[in-house]
Each structure stands twice: as C-alpha cells, then as structure tokens.
C-alpha cells in the first residue's frame, strides 16, 4: 500500500530532513504533505486524506500536544495514527502524549529503519481498531 504522510514541524529544514529519512527508509510513500504547525495540520487533515501524521511537539500557534488532543477529540486518531517526533525522550512526556491520543513516539535522532518500524507498527495498531 502506498502511503500519504503528513509531516508537521515548524522547521523547514527538519521537514526536509524527515522527507529524506522517509526516502531512505524503504517505506512505500506516494506523497509527503507538510504543515508548519498544528493549525495548518488541522486545515490539511480536513481536506486531504493522509495515512499517518508525524508531528513535532514544540511549534508556534498550536503545538503538538494540542494538535494530538484536537485530533483525538475529533475522532481522527482512531483512523489516522499520529506519531510524535520529538527530541524529548523522557518517559513522562511520552506517557502524556500517548494518553492524549498519539499512537507512536519517535525520539530524535532516529535512523530510517526506526521511522519505518514505527510507521508500520502504528498502521498495524490503527488497522486493528
């Protein structure tokens, strides 16, 4: 299955880097959409189908925690899993995001195969729901 991914990060350089890692990961991706913050991500999800959302935490206007909470309230996270991509690997932060509705958590730095494994894992979780 060819995937449509949404990368949500306020850093253009980081979005480019994640695209690059995706291309090296071996995932079958047909399109990578991009949003610069949670507000843009919500607008994009309202008009475009995506299979997985990769979201940073620290962003202006609407951060990753608020984005996950809104998507969860809208019932979107049951069909579109969100993987949080963050430099913060602390157990409390991870638990907080998972409780809000994130299905995966990827700590920077990460290798291409770690991204692939997490995407495949959350798609398995999502398909089982």
Question: Cα torsion for 123, 126, 128, 129, to the nearest 10°?
Answer: 180
Among 30, 49, 58, 61, binds another protein (CB under 8 A): 58
Nearer to another protein, 12 or 48 (CB): 12
Nearer to another protein, 17 or 74 (CB): 17
Q: Is 79 in the site for another protein (CB under 8 A)?
A: no
User: Which x/- pattern, by CB under 8 A, does the window 108-127 give for another protein?
Assistant: xxxx----------------
Helices (H), 2-105: 12-25, 38-47, 64-73, 91-100
Q: Is 78 in the site for another protein (CB under 8 A)?
A: no
Helices (H) and strands (E) in the chain, counts: 5, 5
By CB neighbour count within 10 A (0-12 exposed, 13-18 middle, 19+ buried), where does 121 fall? middle
User: Which x/- pattern, by CB under 8 A, does the window 8-47 give for another protein?
Assistant: ---xxxx-xx--x---------------------------
| CA–CA gap between residue 69 and residue 113 (Å, rounded) | 28
Binding site for another protein (CB under 8 A): 11-14, 16-17, 20, 58, 86-93, 96, 107-111
């Amino acid at each position: 299955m060819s995937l449509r991914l949404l990368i949500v990060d306020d850093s253009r350089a980081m979005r480019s880097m994640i695209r690059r890692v995706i291309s090296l990961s071996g995932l079958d991706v047909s399109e990578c959409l991009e949003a610069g913050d949670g507000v843009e991500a919500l607008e994009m999800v309202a008009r475009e189908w995506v299979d997985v959302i990769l979201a940073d935490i620290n962003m202006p206007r609407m951060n990753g925690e608020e984005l996950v909470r809104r998507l969860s309230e809208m019932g979107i996270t049951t069909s579109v899993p969100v993987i949080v991509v963050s430099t913060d690997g602390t157990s409390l932060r991870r638990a907080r995001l998972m409780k809000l509705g994130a299905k995966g958590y990827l700590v920077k730095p990460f290798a291409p195969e770690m991204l692939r494994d997490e995407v495949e894992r959350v798609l398995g979780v999502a398909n089982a729901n």
